Structure 1
Amino acid sequence: MKQLRKFLILPALLLSVLVLSGCERPPIEAVQHGYRGTAMDIIYNPRTLAEQAEKNAVPASYGAAPADGPKAGAVYKNVKVLNNLSVAQFTSFMVSMTSWVAPEQGCSYCHNAANFADDSLYTKQVARNMILMTQRVNTQWQDHVAQTGVTCYTCHRGNNIPQNVWFKEPKQQTGNGLLGNKDGQNTPVAASGYSSLPNDYFSSYLSKSSNIRVAGNTALPTGNKHSINETEATYGLMMHFSKSLGVNCTYCHNSRNFSSWEESPPQRAKAWYAIRMAQDINNNYMDPIKGLFPPHRLGPTGDVAKANCATCHQGAYKPLYGVSMLSDYPFLTGPAKPPLKGQDSAPPAKSVAMK
């Protein structure tokens, strides 16, 4: 009997480790987010917050460059964006962009070092459109970004390509026999939390404007037209929100009545605008410049990298924990222009009223 117990102890310990590996190691912290009695607690892990703090640190500020003096467009050749900046503002911003996007490659990541006016590098043309996109976000999407705004650093953080982008998932082959048709799910990927949920919901919600619904407004069978697949895709999107912002469901919802806008915190309205902002960015600033990118920078179906919530937030409830960098770069709140013409461009979409 003793031998049998010893023989069973090790498998039991291994099983316990396996079961508990999916749980958070205490201590955890709970912060009341809604009215008393609603149990709308936000659960935080102090260890995760400590790790996130370094990732969301803001670069040292050197102050805004002076706006007086000769204009960049008059001094330098072929300046198509921000040509109304002073030379001091323009050169200061170029140095900052280099540290934000290409700290290892330096200026040559976007420029021909022998001729800075040359447009032969695709990265230079992409950068122009990304500046216009940043201005668009800071001027037209203040319902989401408020006065905090965004800069190139918000997404890139020292990387050529933001660490969190998405591509359209390739269509899965219809299976045979017991495998069946996976119907765009049942293939674990990070975007769906490695679950059986649909794995290309970004295309539906952050590119197309599909309805995000779990239930209809009237009783079955005539009123509720929403399928189980739509419901599962909605769950996948909500999981993405949660992980991207480092929060749980009650950050945007009253768990007593998830569908009620009247009982939801203000953050839900912010998220509503965030979805439409992502659609604007992806449809009017990313997709139209697909032709600029070489094949190795495109996804498995040939599409360009696009933005989701994690692109900016990177695990924080507010990107960079709400610290604004715009005081040093006020021109990034300048006029919101569409992408440059002649590059498969399209005019930016207009925001629609909340429904």
Structure 2
Amino acid sequence: MIQQPPTLFPEITNTVRGRFYIVAGIISVVMAVASIAIFWWIFYTITPAPAPPLQNPIYVNYTQEPTDYISAESLAAMNAYIQANPQPQAVQVLKGMTTAQISAYMVAQVSGGLKVDCSYCHNIANFAQQDGYPNAAKKVTARKMMLMSADLNQNYTAKLPASVGGYQITCATCHNGKAAGLEPYPIEIMNTLPNDWRLPLELDYPGGLVVTGRKDVSNHEVEQNQFAMYHMNVSMGQGCTFCHNARYFPSYEIAQKNHSIIMLQMTKHIQETYVAPGGRIADGIMAGKSPSCWLCHQGANIPPGAAKPGQVPAVLSSTP
């Protein structure tokens, strides 16, 4: 048997070993305490990610927040009015609906689309009152807006195929939660465009922007075409091939190109009917703002705030 040589200075070795264990133990305890402290510090100081905003079931990509824009006083007054008047009084647009149905539409789509209280347009002491109170003019404008949305749904969105989704225009489509409506040409989307540029709605569609392959168009017309295409790209959040065959731009084989013509015709109709001086019901309805693709689309293919099928009252829908 081979014997291990005797350890030199055994008392020194044992002392070192003992100190090592003591130091290692202290370090382990400190690290354990520090780990626990750091865990609880992180737990209590880091704020969890907020829940996504609750989406309104009536509209596309439109949140229900804030939810306190209608006061309890207005809701109580409305309920009292419904009980006292099951059939509506002084109705001019929403005919064929009960008071309860009209009130539900007003709460969900008029107040909900603008995020305003009932008193924004009504005297809540008498919802049927037509004039003689501070906001009576807004009720008149609201009626014109309803007539405009009915006009656009019945004469333009009705032309879009069912495959597009059957979405309808209503208050939130253009207002998107803002009482004054959205800015149709905000500076932040103009980018390389002149700030005073507007869609060439004086042109006829189809054909107004067709310049590809032609030699009889001016540089100005080509520039206007490119400006309009850039505006559509930004407004829809899509590239050129969303509507065009990149190998042959003049073709109409992609469905969205035909849809865009209907929308350009609608935009021109809004300009001529509701904005231009002498328009049929232009006074005050668009505050002089020329319409644009951005006004409804806001960077999305399907406009945020577009009403889902079946949500708009029949009288205002594509199929009245």
Q: TM-score range by the shorter chain?
A: 0.5 to 0.7
Aligned equivalent of 1:291, options 265, 283, 290? 283
Instruction: State whether structure 2 residue 98 is matched by structure 1 residue 86.
Output: yes
- 1:129 alignment counterpart: 144
Which residue among 278, 301, 311 is the counterpart of 1:327? 311
Q: In the TM superposition, what whole-angstrom CA distance separates every residue of 1:36-65 from its partner, at most 9, and x where no partner exists?
A: xxxxxxxxxxxxxx99x99952457xxxxx
What is the Cα deviation at residue 317 of structure 1?
1.0
2:258 corresponds to 1:266: no
* Preserved CA contact (<8 Å) 2:153 2:317: yes
Q: TM-score, normalised by structure 2?
A: 0.62
- Which structure 2 residue ranges, 5 or more long, are not aligned? 1-51, 65-81
**Equivalent residue of 2:97, what SS?**
coil
Q: Aligned residue for 1:229?
A: 220
Structure 2 counterpart of 1:228, one-letter code: N
Larger radius of gyration: 2
Q: Distance in 1 between matches of 2:198 and 2:211?
A: 14
User: Which residue of structure 2 aligns with residue 159 of structure 1?
Assistant: 178
Q: How does 1:27-46 map to 2 (within 5 A)?
A: none
The alpha-carbon deviation at position 333 of structure 1 amounts to 1.5
Offset of residue 94 of structure 1: 1.4
The match for 1:281 is: 270
* Match 1:209 to one of 200, 204, 209: 204
State the shift of 1:273 in Å: 0.8
Q: How much does 1:259 deviate?
A: 1.8
> Can you list the C-alpha shifts for 1:249-270, whole angstroms capped at 9, x where unaligned?
1100111121222xx4111001
The letter for the 2-side match of 1:247 is Q
Pair 1:166–1:290, CA change in 2 (3 A): farther
Q: Which amino acid aligns with 2:138?
A: T
Within-5 A mapping of 1:168-179: none
Q: State the AA in 1 paired with 2:315.
A: F
Residue by residue over 1:294-342, the C-alpha shift from the partner in whole angstroms, topping out at 9 and shown as x without a partner, is xxx84xxxxx123221122111111249871533633322677xxxxxx
TM-score normalised per structure 1: 0.56
- CA shift, 1:149, in A, is 1.9
Aligned AA (2:130): D
Distance 1:119 1:229, change over 3 A: farther
Q: What is residue 7 of structure 2 aligned with on the other side?
A: none
Q: Deviations over 1:149-197 (max 9, x none)?
A: 2221222221113324259xxxxxxxxxxxxxxxxxxxxx5564334x5
CA contact (8 A) 1:155 1:162 kept: yes
Higher fraction of helix: 2
- Describe the shift of the 1:334–1:83 C-alpha distance in structure 2 as closer, same or farther (beyond 3 A): farther
C-alpha change, 1:127 and 1:75, in structure 2 (3 Å) is: same
2:160 alignment partner, SS class: helix
1:126 shift after superposition: 1.6
**Given the superposition, is the C-alpha separation of residues 128 and 136 from structure 1 closer, same or farther in structure 2, using an over 3 Å criterion?**
same
Q: Secondary structure at the match of 1:201?
A: coil
Matched, 1:111 2:133: no
Aligned to 1:57: 61
What is the match of residue 149 of structure 1? Answer: 168
Cα distance change on mapping 1:265 and 1:139 into 2, 3 Å: same
Aligned pair count reads: 235
- Residues 59-110 of structure 1, C-alpha deviation per residue, up to 9 Å, x if partnerless? 57xxxxxxxxx9x999444321113212221111111234334424x11212
C-alpha RMSD of matched pairs (Å): 3.6
Which residue does the alignment assign to 1:254? Answer: 245
The one-letter code sitting in structure 2 at the alignment partner of 1:138 is: N
Name 1:240's counterpart in structure 2: 231
Q: Separation in 1 of the partners of 2:307 and 2:98?
A: 26
Amino acid at match of 1:292: G
Q: Give unpaired runs (5+ residues) of structure 1.
A: 1-49, 61-69, 168-188, 299-303, 337-355
Residue 209 of structure 1: how far off its partner (Å): 3.1
Distance change (3 Å), C-alpha of 1:334 and 1:86:
farther
Residues 144 and 274, structure 1, Cα contact 8 Å, conserved in 2 = no
